[in-house]
Structure 1
Amino acid sequence: MGNHRLDPTVLRPAVIVEDPRLREHRDAMEELLRTARFGVEALYRQVAGLGYVVLLSDNQGITVDYIGDQATTDYLRAAGLYMGADWNEARAGTNGTGTCIATGESLTIHQSDHFDATHIPLTCTVAPIFDPVGNLSAVLDISALRSPREKSSQFLALQMVRNFAHRIETASFIRSCSRNWIVKLTANQALAEVDTDYVLALDSSGRIAGFNHHARQLLAEEMKTGWRDAKQALGRPISDFLDCEIDGLTRFARPNSIERNVMRLTGSGRSLFIQVVPPATIRVLPAPVQQEESRIPKALKAVAGEDPSIQRNLNKLSRLLNTNISVLVSGETGTGKEYLAKAIHQSCVRAQGPFVPVNCGALPENLIESELFGYEGGSFTGALSKGKKGLIREAHGGTLFLDEIGDMPLGSQTRLLRVLAEREVMPIGGTRPYPVDMRVIAASHRDLLGMVKKGLFREDLYFRLNGVTITLPPLRDRVDLAWLVAQLLESRAYPDGSARSLSSKALGVLSSYGWPGNIRELVNVIDFACAVASDPEIGLDDLPDQVFRRIDGDGEASAADAARSNSKQAASLREDLRRTGWNISATARLLGVDRTTLHRRMRRLGVTLPPRST
């Protein structure tokens, strides 16, 4: 122990820390102690008759829990096998707890393995307990004042302490990660219900947020790396390791026969039995017996026609409707993000509750918190005397739609994160929080992940909102334009009650247009055409000028293309007018349109009548 400059020949008495310092160490790991106590007591019942004591030490080597034979208390205290004992290697030299802290490994330090001569009679068998992100939290230790000379005598003790450390670690893990999706994996079907080997926690976006030590070792095997390097798995999507996406895991959250719940590891191909526990804040309702899982509700069907990319998203959403999983909708401005959010709300069990839309980009920065979180009366200058409930509480029992979430200030993001994590909201100036039960749907046209990397959007809020991401394609990339036009015309009948339609030539123009304003622009175009059309069928001349401009892939109009198109149309129209001697009425009859339509076409193409000769 040259690094610690200890002399092995010097007999050192055990160091027992004073009560105030011991309380500090115990308070720092209060939650783990509460869970571990049951395991410590159960382990002691197994080993007490063999002369062992059970100790639990924190990651600094201080014994924070202990059970031993009261008849030998004085001997145990003198040997350091006692509450408050300091087993840090820097003070005590090589010993079970100190070496476990240094290596993170289960092991036995038997008799002469100890560095300090004071401890040579002891045998200490230990196992580490890790926190959900792989940091060592505690060391479980069974030690004896006397034992057989052979170290192999401690083999069963080592297996026993490993087993109990795993149970304590897993119980503590599940309790501390109750707001995450918990994935339990085991190779043993018979014991799956009562004992789980591998446990992982997933955040709402399906990324790994934590693991117990067995799962960490499993991931290390899949990554072909050492278990210490398996921390690199944190933040990676579960689909990197399991042959399943996050939304596909929900089917394992319902009570099924365990033998049907089989999942394959993507690396090794090994099959494991799986159980999924949803977050405490998420309710997963049993699937109706006669309803297919992929069936899309009517409100969602109205979002799109036969566009494959949107249909895949709608199928995914249909399986998640009756959960509290947050939905993040991305897409360019005008692609129908709020329309989709309303359809999700109308399709789930919350349809009877309120749908509360919030445009985060439209709220002034100095008002966004009072509007969202509410306030108590008189909490600031200008506040209403009776206070304000706030939009989040208004959404209780329903859906909160946060449009343009990327425009929310960072300070407000912090408060929103707390609301989503705790499912309660503290109004400004309030003294007690109010519980809220709501589905959250957020939307943005911005690249939120890019904003996260630049420090402009909170990463933890992004992953909290990103339970499932739905991307709405721009209208120029959709293949269901004709369906969209038909839906719009269905609700815009001709004044005499006749159904409206669109000519094939007009549809051709709309199909070749780039739609920089997306569906919002399409609605405006159809409204314009319905207003000016003199017949139930909308033709070329009923369309606004903007749609005759060609738009490239970046949404920019091609001036050359537009000029060429207009030039051809103008030349054709001039030829028709010349054939009739520039007679407007005769040309209109030739083309099968009325005089108003012909005049509108001439203005659009810049065609004018030649001056009359005098």
Structure 2
Amino acid sequence: MTARGMVRLRRIAGEDGMRDLDHVAEIDRVLRGQDTGRDSLVADSWRRCVESYGMDPTRAEAAHIVTDAELRAHREQSERLIATARSGLQALFRQVAGQNYVLLLADAKGVCVDFFGDPRFEDDLRQAGLYLGSNWTEDLAGTCGVGSCIVTGEAVTIHQGDHFGLAHTPLSCTSAPIYDTCGKLTAVLDISLLRSPSPKSSQNLAMNLVRASVRRVEMANLMAMTRRDWVLRVSASPEFLEVDPEAAVALDGSGRIIGMTHGARDILAPGGGALIGQRIDALIDLSVDDLPDLMRGRPSEDRVLRLRDGRGLYGHAIAPQAARVPLRHRDTALPAPLAGFAGPDPVLDPLLRTAARLAPTRVPLLLTGESGTGKERLARAIHMSGPARAFHAVRCAGAAFDTLEDAAPGTLFLRGIDDLDSKAQAALLTLIERREDLRVIASARMPLATRLAEGSFRDDLYYRLSGARLDLPPLRLRHDTDWLIDRLMRPFAADGMRLSPQARAELLARDWPGNIRELQHTLAIAAAVTEGQVIDLPDLPQPAPATTEDTSDEDLQSLLDACHWNMARAARRLGVNRSTILRRVRKAGLAPPG
């Protein structure tokens, strides 16, 4: 201990009593290598506090509270987790409220984003940092439940004098980590007391409760994130198999593990090996075809699983849930090329039905939509759904139409018809007048009527091209973005690559000003830079700036429908705060369908 520290110790002894002096002296003995009887986890944390974080044990640091703006940002990033965990945490709080416990849900950065406590003690809880917005990272708060849990990745009880900071020594904090479906620590659940009985063993019940709650939160999160996949729940006891299983994994159609609760690692890979990407039959004497036999309908004690290492477990399989029902069903069978253009989407369904009826005809078509919305792909799907043989794609900017005089009969796709100058317009008109065996499909980024009104587009050519008009929605207004992501991931999925739930949520929330083309490039870049088989948030390139122009109430309704009324996702796509979306929804009197 330095001379300055000794002076501060004497001041502490005079002001705060011998207990604080003894605490600081014990930390000093631990730093000098002496065994004081503290848990090794606590001793290691004390060393980090001094040697890595430069903390002074003689200073009584106040609680660290983030700003309101920072808290909003942390809560928005944790919105899905908060919603998933809240009902379970409310049930836990009802169990322990009578013992004056407070519950904190902290994100992976140690900031409390949800809170349950007795309002009668709100002032004391705020002062102690047991409240919304408190930052309990170890490098700020010293040895503490949340911070030490994040560092170790394990459930911990930091009881009274285990804390490094003098201001926290009256507290007793029991924390357990919450892992996402890919095995990454995503949050911490903490149950704390302002004051507690002296024995650390008095918190054993708190440890059991917090571990059980975390297990249920992870289970709920896995079920929410893998609705379209098989889920296999396992337990060492048949009695709790269906009501409170110990662990679970999600499986794709080939039997590969694509998601898990943290307990699955301890049960299925006790040696510490990775589970994500492994085939279930490499771990258990079980194939995907056997899963229906493990569903409800058979006694739990008959659903026995044999692990490859000889151990036995009980299993309960949950079948994939049906895909979300679109607002409109496709009431007619589409030709295969058009059926593969989009997933269930109430906006695109009527457009594709119209395209299917027009495909066999010779009616000229005008496809409009923002850049990257798939206009050429739709043109090819219409061509393949009709009788035409050859497909000629021409970029209108700088095109020489005289080279098409001898082209084979079929479909002439004019890409970017709004880029034609007056000379090219005349040449195109001459071509289509001579070649009536060419069925014309043109695309434009904006309605041609605008150029027609300006006098920069020939009216005789306009009426030749716009027999029927199909308007493609931008990606931000499509309802099938999840389906589209899966389709664009197919080339990479063949090698076992997949998106983490966090990466998928980020992709679903982006504005996509470059539409499908931008999404395709984003996935290709992420697949190239990721070091494993799971594309996670750091692998995604930064998004283009979000749309900032004003949107009408009708456009806002369409955007909310496309986001399935997820306010945070809609706000991200518009580049505004969630509160702005809520205010506009109330003002316009908008409401979700049904």
- TM-score normalised over the length of structure 2: 0.50
Deviations, residues 56-101 of structure 1 (Å, cap 9, x unaligned): 1001110011111111111111111111001011111100000000
Seen in structure 2, the aligned counterparts of structure 1 residues 260 and 14 have a Cα distance that, compared at 3 Å, is: same
Amino acid aligned to 1:55: L
* Cα offset, 1:236, TM superposition: 1.1
**SS of residue paired to 2:368:** coil
* Cα offset, 1:377, TM superposition: 4.4
Give the distance between the partners of 2:496 and 2:232, measured in 1 at CA: 30
Q: 2:280 aligns with which of 219, 238, 248?
A: 238
Equivalent positions of 1:420-439 (< 5 A) are 432-433=477-478
The percentage of aligned residue pairs carrying the same residue is: 38
Aligned to 2:174: 125
Deviations, residues 284-329 of structure 1 (Å, cap 9, x unaligned): xxxxxxxxxxxxxxxxxxxxxxxxxxxxxxxxxxxxxxxxxxxxxx
Seen in structure 2, the aligned counterparts of structure 1 residues 354 and 245 have a Cα distance that, compared at 3 Å, is: farther
* Cα offset, 1:259, TM superposition: 3.9
Aligned to 2:70: 21
Equivalent positions of 1:169-184 (< 5 A) are 169-184=218-233
* Contact 2:235-2:313 at 8 Å conserved across structures: no
* Cα offset, 1:278, TM superposition: 1.7
Equivalent positions of 1:191-210 (< 5 A) are 191-210=240-259
Deviations, residues 492-548 of structure 1 (Å, cap 9, x unaligned): xxxxxxxxxxxxxxxxxxxxxxxxxxxxxxxxxxxxxxxxxxxxxxxxxxxxxxxxx
**SS of residue paired to 1:24:** helix
Q: 1:356 aligns with which of 336, 353, 361?
A: 336
Q: 2:313 aligns with which of 251, 271, 280?
A: 271
* Cα offset, 1:192, TM superposition: 2.2
Deviations, residues 184-243 of structure 1 (Å, cap 9, x unaligned): 11222222222121110112321111110111111222xxx13xxx3x221111111121
Give the distance between the partners of 2:121 and 2:162, measured in 1 at CA: 24
Give the distance between the partners of 1:147 and 1:278, measured in 2 at CA: 46
Give the distance between the partners of 2:232 and 2:189, measured in 1 at CA: 25
Seen in structure 2, the aligned counterparts of structure 1 residues 259 and 73 have a Cα distance that, compared at 3 Å, is: same
Equivalent positions of 1:315-464 (< 5 A) are 356=336, 377-379=366-368, 390=381, 432-433=477-478
* Cα offset, 1:279, TM superposition: 4.3
Q: Which of the pair has more CA radius of gyration? A: 1
Aligned to 1:67: 116
Amino acid aligned to 1:96: G
Aligned to 2:211: 162
Equivalent positions of 1:198-597 (< 5 A) are 198-221=247-270, 225-226=271-272, 230=273, 232-253=274-295, 255-281=297-323, 356=336, 377-379=366-368, 390=381, 432-433=477-478
Give the distance between the partners of 2:172 and 2:472, measured in 1 at CA: 57
* Cα offset, 1:452, TM superposition: 8.4
Deviations, residues 528-571 of structure 1 (Å, cap 9, x unaligned): xxxxxxxxxxxxxxxxxxxxxxxxxxxxxxxxxxxxxxxxxxxx
Q: 1:50 aligns with which of 99, 119, 126?
A: 99
Deviations, residues 398-423 of structure 1 (Å, cap 9, x unaligned): xxxxxxxxxxxxxxxxxxxxxxxxxx
Give the distance between the partners of 1:392 and 1:101, measured in 2 at CA: 57
**SS of residue paired to 2:161:** helix
Seen in structure 2, the aligned counterparts of structure 1 residues 193 and 428 have a Cα distance that, compared at 3 Å, is: same
Seen in structure 2, the aligned counterparts of structure 1 residues 142 and 36 have a Cα distance that, compared at 3 Å, is: same
Give the distance between the partners of 2:280 and 2:69, measured in 1 at CA: 44
* Cα offset, 1:393, TM superposition: 13
Amino acid aligned to 1:278: P
**SS of residue paired to 2:109:** coil
* Contact 1:186-1:272 at 8 Å conserved across structures: yes
* Contact 2:179-2:185 at 8 Å conserved across structures: yes
Aligned to 2:235: 186
Seen in structure 2, the aligned counterparts of structure 1 residues 182 and 374 have a Cα distance that, compared at 3 Å, is: farther
* Contact 1:264-1:270 at 8 Å conserved across structures: yes
Amino acid aligned to 2:367: G
* Cα offset, 1:140, TM superposition: 0.6
- Is 2:158 the partner of 1:109? yes
Q: 2:187 aligns with which of 135, 138, 141?
A: 138
Deviations, residues 423-453 of structure 1 (Å, cap 9, x unaligned): xxx9576774366999xxx9xxx99957989
**SS of residue paired to 2:367:** coil
**SS of residue paired to 2:336:** strand
Give the distance between the partners of 2:288 and 2:383, measured in 1 at CA: 27
* Contact 1:371-1:391 at 8 Å conserved across structures: no
Deviations, residues 121-165 of structure 1 (Å, cap 9, x unaligned): 100011111000111111111111111111111111111111111
* Cα offset, 1:282, TM superposition: 10
Aligned to 1:366: none
Give the distance between the partners of 1:269 and 1:237, measured in 2 at CA: 18
Q: 1:40 aligns with which of 76, 89, 95?
A: 89
Amino acid aligned to 2:319: V
Amino acid aligned to 2:336: V
Seen in structure 2, the aligned counterparts of structure 1 residues 72 and 264 have a Cα distance that, compared at 3 Å, is: same
Give the distance between the partners of 2:384 and 2:151, measured in 1 at CA: 49
* Contact 1:93-1:115 at 8 Å conserved across structures: yes
Q: Any gaps of 5 or more consecutive residues in structure 1? A: 284-349, 361-369, 395-425, 465-614
- TM-score normalised over the length of structure 1: 0.49
Seen in structure 2, the aligned counterparts of structure 1 residues 113 and 433 have a Cα distance that, compared at 3 Å, is: same
* Contact 1:377-1:388 at 8 Å conserved across structures: no
Give the distance between the partners of 2:496 and 2:197, measured in 1 at CA: 63
Give the distance between the partners of 1:62 and 1:435, measured in 2 at CA: 34
* Contact 1:427-1:433 at 8 Å conserved across structures: no
Deviations, residues 233-256 of structure 1 (Å, cap 9, x unaligned): 211111111212223324435744
